[in-house]
């Protein structure tokens, strides 16, 4: 994603999100964000977008075989989870005491 300006996303590492599209779609099961890749507009979500990798035997892993792990997915495929309302929510940014904070649009709570 080579744009002139760096994109700003409302999702950070450690947030609770729900997958809203794809094979792992579940609007009632919040998952944790493991990593955010803003340059590619992708996100790594715990337990979502599982892929299988074939590994060769090595000194650390003498057997080799199949390894299942999470792969990055598009950041547009997830939505922030509002714990107070118990459902996905959009996010707006407002200033509080000179600092920019994320606020849930459904409950009006500040997201930590």
pLDDT tens string 31-41: 999 999 999 99
**Element housing 7 (H / E):** none
- Going by pLDDT thresholds of 50, 70 and 90, the confidence category of residue 4 is confident
Task: Tell the residue number behind the tokens 């598009």, with chain if given.
Answer: 74
Give residue 75's region: left, alpha or beta (phi > 0; psi -120 to 50). alpha
Cα–Cα distance measured from residue 100 to residue 83, given in angstroms and rounded to the nearest whole number: 21
Given this structure, which CATH class describes domain 16-111?
mainly beta
- Cβ partners under 8 Å of residue 108, min gap 6: none
CB atoms within 10 A of CB 80: 22
Q: Is the CB of residue 64 less than 8 Å from the CB of residue 58?
A: yes
Distance from C-alpha of 70 to C-alpha of 36, rounded to nearest angstrom = 13
**Residue owning tokens 């959009």:** 90
How does residue 112 score in pLDDT terms, banded at 50, 70 and 90? confident
pLDDT tens per residue, range 51-102 = 999 999 999 989 999 999 999 999 999 999 999 999 999 999 999 999 999 9
């Amino acid at each position: 994603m080579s744009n002139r300006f760096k994109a700003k996303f409302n999702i950070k590492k450690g947030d609770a999100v729900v997958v809203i599209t794809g094979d792992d779609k579940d609007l009632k099961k919040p998952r944790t964000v493991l990593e955010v890749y803003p340059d590619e507009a992708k996100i790594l979500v715990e337990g979502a977008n599982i892929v299988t990798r074939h590994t060769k035997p090595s000194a650390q892993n003498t057997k080799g075989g199949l390894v299942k792990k999470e792969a990055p997915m598009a950041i547009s495929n997830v939505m922030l989870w509002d714990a107070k309302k118990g459902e996905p929510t959009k996010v707006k940014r407002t200033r509080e005491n000179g600092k920019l904070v994320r606020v849930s649009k459904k409950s009006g709570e500040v997201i930590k």
